[in-house]
A and B are shown apart, each in its own frame.
Chain A
Amino acid sequence: MPVGGKKQLPVVMEKEQVSVRSLISDRESELPGMWNRMFEQRVLRDYTTRELDRVAALPGGESLEWCYGCGKCVPVCPVDLVGEYGPRKIHRRTQTGTNLLESADLWLCTTCGNCLRVCPKEVDMMQIMPAARAAAVGQSTVPGELQDVFEKTFRYGNCLGQNARRRHAWTRGAGVPVRVLADEPGPVDVLFYVEDYWSYHPRGQQAAQAMARVLSALGIDWAILGAEEKTLGDSQRTAGEKGLFEALMEDVVATLDKYEFSRIVTPDPHGFNALVKEYPKHGHRYDVLHYTQLLAPLVDQLELTVPVERTVTFHDPCYLGRHHGEYDAPRRLIEAIPGIRLTEMSRCRENGYCCGGGGGGMWLDGFTASHTTERLSERRVREAAATGADVLAVCCPYEVSRFEDAAKSTGNEQLQVKDIIELIDEAMGHGADAEPA
């Protein structure tokens, strides 16, 4: 209040980060600099092209400065829906002098590809982010939890830090014989590349076992690499560990060279992406299918005799849908199952909402949580629950555990999360309570 007739000027502060205590919860929250406008204006004092030049100089980083600020990317960016993000904003912050390599922005992108889908200038975050992160890896500014996964992958050949010898432990519960090439060499039609989460995660193992039963029932000639299998490491690549990815590729190719197979089938859209898009850049070419692409044409041969009376909604994996244009194979499988009613979420197919697991997001849960209002998986589960479905069907190994956690944390326990292969397995009469053969 003015005292003694003398005008008093307001106190002006400038802060990048502000702590605010809530009057209701008494909780203290950190607000980023953009909210400083609530308290005072922070004047931009200078621009420098240095930071954009730094990113543009990285192989793959060139297109960041192509942004002309139309803003089409921001509304479709899954991270912006739970935070304050998007390629246009990253371009502007970099243009106004923020060092992307030292910014939290660097680690929030899930490389889901929805921005590139709508970008008129083809600013390609799928190239920019791995390039900028690789530069940050060189400077050792990687968030600890991600660094931990890099190290586990380097030491054990899988992101979970599990013993390689236990990689095919899941086969014991499959109920059907599973051929491991090291034990039973010789030509095989389908090499089933199990990848990390179906090999080690308890829910993934259930899916792998279902897959084994379905493959056997179809009479497909198939085998796995067993303990010799290492992760293809595509998410480690998009998270910035290009060197690790290439080292893994050398090992994987050496293993594959030992065996004779017609095609590779994998449940992991990220591994699928590596084999389809990255390996050929290094001269390694294989006939590769996602498991839904193997099964969809064989749908008439599947003996789907047990009706599954559920309402199902389907989540498109970014790396199967947007990155490879495969939207129909998973839906053909779901629709072939008797009893199932498929209901789509408003964001589906080309505009599918990301689960948050790609581009290293799978291993940045703590970091992401501190920069967003909720997990992408939580938002997606709420969208799935809003359709009234009682099953959220998926076909990416990252998603079962992510969405099951999210269903619990958002109070949507009624929503079951199931891989499509589990639904097929159930319809073939091998359901959860089926006796192992």
Chain B
Amino acid sequence: MASESVLVIGGGPAGLAAARSVADLGGNVVLVEQRDFLGGTPIAENYASITPHLESAEVALGRVVDAVQGHPGITVHLGAEVISCTGDAGELTAVLRSAEGEQPVECGAVIVATGFQHFDPGRETQLYGYYELPDVLALQDLESMLKAGSVVRPSNGQAPKRLCFIQCVGSRDRHIGNEYCSKVCCGVASKEAIEVRQALPDCEVFIFYIDMRMYGYWESQIYWPAQEQHNVQYVKGIVSEILPFGDRLLVRGEDTTMGRPMEIPMDMVVLSVGMEPSPGTRRTAQVLGVAQNKYGFIDAVDLPLDTVSTSRPGVFAAGAALGPADLEDCASSGAAAAMRAMAVIRGAQVAV
């Protein structure tokens, strides 16, 4: 007799969507989250607001977390991880490990929603002096400042008068190994730029870019308002280096549309870091034995019209474990993975 349960690994936006969808369809869910709380990276990294709607991340994700935690069909294991998974689709046995020890879970299907981590600008080289220069930050650092309601230069506690974003940090880079576009950073940087302009109307905000990638509605939801209503200045040409410049920063690059070198003083520089597979995604892929692509994300093997099946029957993936994804992608693929997982369970029952 096939199990009625689906094991969902990861309690971020995609895992929450998957868990709720399975439970709403009448399945039982075992939701495993290695952190001590649900909500995933947006909560763990203190995002101020979600893109593109600028709603508080805590409020938006809180709604989904509440729905999952209150659902009779969902059992949540926090501080836990999956250390093995044996059996075939429809009849799988996973072992969870937590502070209380190890415990087996019988399930018919598994959904991996283990997400991403922000690219670390100091990972291989000290890119842009991220760890050397206090006023060089990354997107998530500014998010947490915006969440705290205080955007100031870490070096002196003063509000910046000139702030810039540098796009494509850790993305679209063969040298670093991340050849893909991280998809969300243009929108997130523009959203943060709007928030900085709202919080600090005297602060001039620039975005240095290679090309702006505002797919779909983000163009008119974020990019155009940033430029037209919030006076964010977009400059085509990427910054090559950041040098200390008195108590400020000097960003150096090429202004490609003017065809001239530029050396612009800034008070604060925000690196628009891209997405990489989280350690949990890499580890879980190994544990489950599902194929990963060359970047470490889990391979969806039947693209483009099946976005969630992995190389192992009965194991599906969702959200940023599959590659760069925004919140809408996570919700969609979480629900799609739930449907596929339920089909495995129901199909196995019919077959028995």
Contacts and interface: CB of A to CB of B under 8 A. Distances in A.
Given A46-B265, A47-B233, A95-B233, A68 B204 contact: no
Contacts of A1: none
B255 A96 contact: yes
Interface in A33-57: 34, 37, 41-49, 52-53, 56
A390 interface: no
A47 B232 CA distance: 12
B227 interface: yes
A68 to B, nearest CB: 6
Interface string A8-43: 000000000000000000000000001001000111
B205 to A, nearest CB: 9
A189 B233 CA distance: 55
Interface in B28-87: none
A46 B261 CA distance: 11
A68 B190 CA distance: 13
Contacts of B259: 34, 37
A88 B262 CA distance: 19
Interface in B239-280: 255, 257-265
A41 B235 contact: no
A89 to B, nearest CB: 8
A69 B233 contact: no
A347 interface: no
Contacts of A121: 224
B127 interface: no
Contact of A68 (B231, B234, B261): B234
B227 A68 contact: yes
A44 B224 CA distance: 26
A12 to B, nearest CB: 13
A185 B146 CA distance: 73
B264 A69 contact: no
Contacts of A66: 224, 227-228
Contact of A48 (B204, B235, B258): B204
B264 A44 contact: yes
A69 B263 contact: no
A34 B262 CA distance: 14
Contact of A95 (B224, B228, B235, B261): B235
A92 interface: yes
B119 interface: no
A44 B262 contact: yes
A42 B260 contact: yes
A109 to B, nearest CB: 19
| Residue from A37, A47, A66 with most neighbouring chain B CB atoms (10 Å) | A47
Interface string B185-227: 0000000000000000000101000001000000000011001
B161 to A, nearest CB: 11
Interface residues of B, number: 22
- B contact face: mostly helix, strand, loop, or mixed: strand
Interface centre among A42, A53, A96 (most CB of B within 10 A): A96
A65 interface: yes
Contact of A69 (B206, B236, B262): B236
B106 to A, nearest CB: 55
Nearest to B253: A44
Contacts of A53: 231
A49 B263 contact: no
A48 to B, nearest CB: 7
Contact of A43 (B234, B236, B257, B261): B261
B6 to A, nearest CB: 45
Nearest to B231: A49
Given A44-B263, A66-B227, A49 B258 contact: no
Given A66-B228, A68-B212, A45 B263 contact: yes
A267 B201 CA distance: 51
Contact of B235 (A45, A46, A47, A65): A47
A320 to B, nearest CB: 31
Given A68-B212, A92-B257, A96-B258, A46 B264 contact: yes
B34 to A, nearest CB: 42
Interface string A281-312: 00000000000000000000000000000000
B227 A92 contact: no
Nearest to A121: B224
A411 B40 CA distance: 75
Contacts of A92: 257-258
A69 B258 contact: no
A69 B258 CA distance: 11
A65 B258 contact: no
Contacts of A52: 231, 233
B227 A65 contact: yes
A156 B255 CA distance: 49
B172 to A, nearest CB: 19
A46 B260 CA distance: 12
A46 B223 CA distance: 24
A117 to B, nearest CB: 20
A65 B231 contact: yes
Interface in A336-375: none
Nearest to B237: A44
A47 B260 contact: no
Contacts of B228: 65-66
A96 B262 CA distance: 10
Nearest to A37: B259
Contacts of A44: 255, 258, 260-264
Contact of A47 (B206, B212, B231): B206
A307 to B, nearest CB: 54
A53 B204 CA distance: 11
A48 B259 CA distance: 18
B260 A37 contact: yes
The 10 closest A-B pairs by CB, nearest first: A44-B262, A43-B261, A49-B204, A66-B228, A92-B257, A44-B260, A44-B255, A43-B263, A41-B261, A47-B264
17 contacts: A37-B259, A44-B255, A44-B263, A45-B263, A45-B264, A46-B264, A48-B204, A49-B204, A56-B231, A65-B231, A66-B224, A68-B223, A69-B234, A69-B236, A88-B257, A95-B235, A96-B255
Interface of B: 204, 206, 212, 223-224, 227-228, 231, 233-236, 255, 257-265
Given A44-B258, A52-B231, A65-B227, 11 more contacts: A43-B260, A43-B263, A44-B262, A45-B263, A46-B265, A47-B235, A65-B231, A66-B228, A69-B257, A95-B233, A121-B224
